[in-house]
Amino acid sequence: MSQTKDASFGVKVVEGIGGLPKVCLSTAYGSEAEIYLFGACLTSWKLENGKDLLFIRPDAVFNGKKPISGGIPHCFPQFGPGPMQQHGFARNMEWSLKDSQNNEGEPVVTLELKDDPYTRSMWDFSFQALYKVTLHSESFSTALSITNTDKKPFSFTTALHTYFSASISGVTVEGLKGCKALNKDPDPANPIEGKEERDVVTFPGFVDCIYLGASNELQLENGLGDTLTIRNTNWPDTVLWNPHTQMESCYRDFVCVENAQVGRVQLKPDQAWVAEQNISFT
């Protein structure tokens, strides 16, 4: 890929679908990303060739109420089902754009979410979430930090529920061999414990599996001819999900490979937890 400089790179906020504000990032090298402030959802990541490597489900709504189904929704402060709504509240709240910069042709934005009466009604703690996204020529990086701004301790679980564009019959994920697996198929309420024995995981049917203590580097072949490397720091777990015929209209076109923190993180007042990921085209 050429590394030609272009003057029209940077960060701008425009009206997206449904009139929702969206932050558009573009590098000097032609790559682009879009992040809706609603849910701090990174909905699009394109390389110079214009191909979107992320996926938005056809049933996604952009109404500022329901979470955006696709891209990279946040699950916070709860991953999956539990006392709160599924995957917590961060994905259905408007985050604010706290900072935006250009570092030598690579845009960096930081989005922020804080507690308010709505979050307090479900989770009675004061917190600050900061989500920093940096777009590079052939990759992007995210850093999520959660700070306890309360006077009492709290705990949470979280994930970045990434939807990748894919052709599911050709998808493979490498790097999970040896991990402890919690397989939610057939009963999500009673996951079956096991160990991943395969070098290469494929998606011949319904898949919903949590891998504990996963590698900090995975390789995803998306079945469309692209290889992506998913690296992380301090995201201890990985979740693989494809709904198969539960979503007949679109299951062939995406796969979710999620960096997750399924065990509870405990934070004392003023403590912070930070986890980073980098997703690169190889």
List interacting residues with ligand TA6 (CB under 6 A): 69, 80, 86-87, 161, 184, 188, 208, 239, 241, 256, 258
Whether residue 258 lies in the annotated active site: yes
Catalytic residue among 161, 196, 244, 276: 161
Largest CA distance in the chain: 54
CA separation for the pair 219, 223 (Å, rounded): 12
Choice between 38 and 281, CB closer to ligand TA6? 38
Choice between 31 and 238, CB closer to ligand TA6? 238
Alpha-helical runs (H) found in 161-217: none
In the complex, residue closest to ligand TA6 by CB: 241
Alpha-helical runs (H) found in 96-219: 117-122
Catalytic residue among 34, 106, 221, 258: 258
| 229-232: long-range contacts, CB 8 A cutoff, minimum separation 24 | 229/278, 229/279, 229/280, 229/282, 230/257, 230/259, 230/277, 230/278, 230/279, 231/277, 231/278, 231/279, 231/280, 232/259, 232/275, 232/276, 232/277, 232/278
CB of 37 to ligand TA6, least distance (A): 19
CB of 42 to ligand TA6, least distance (A): 15
CB of 85 to ligand TA6, least distance (A): 9
CB of 75 to ligand TA6, least distance (A): 7
Beta bridge pairs of residue 227 = 221
Q: How far is CA 142 from the centre of its chain?
A: 9
Whether residue 174 lies in the annotated active site: no
Q: Would you give the end-to-end CA distance of the chain in angstroms?
A: 11
Q: Which helix (H) or strand (E) segment is 187 a member of? A: none
CB of 188 to ligand TA6, least distance (A): 6
In angstroms and rounded to an integer, the radius of gyration of the C-alpha atoms of the chain is 18
CB of 59 to ligand TA6, least distance (A): 9
Choice between 75 and 146, CB closer to ligand TA6? 75
Choice between 131 and 211, CB closer to ligand TA6? 211
Choice between 130 and 250, CB closer to ligand TA6? 250
Q: Residue 275: which residues within 8 A CB-CB, separation 6 or more?
A: 143, 144, 158, 232, 233, 234, 235, 259, 261
Choice between 153 and 188, CB closer to ligand TA6? 188
User: Which sign, positive or negative, has the C-alpha torsion 35, 36, 41, 44?
Assistant: negative
| Residues marked as catalytic | 161, 258
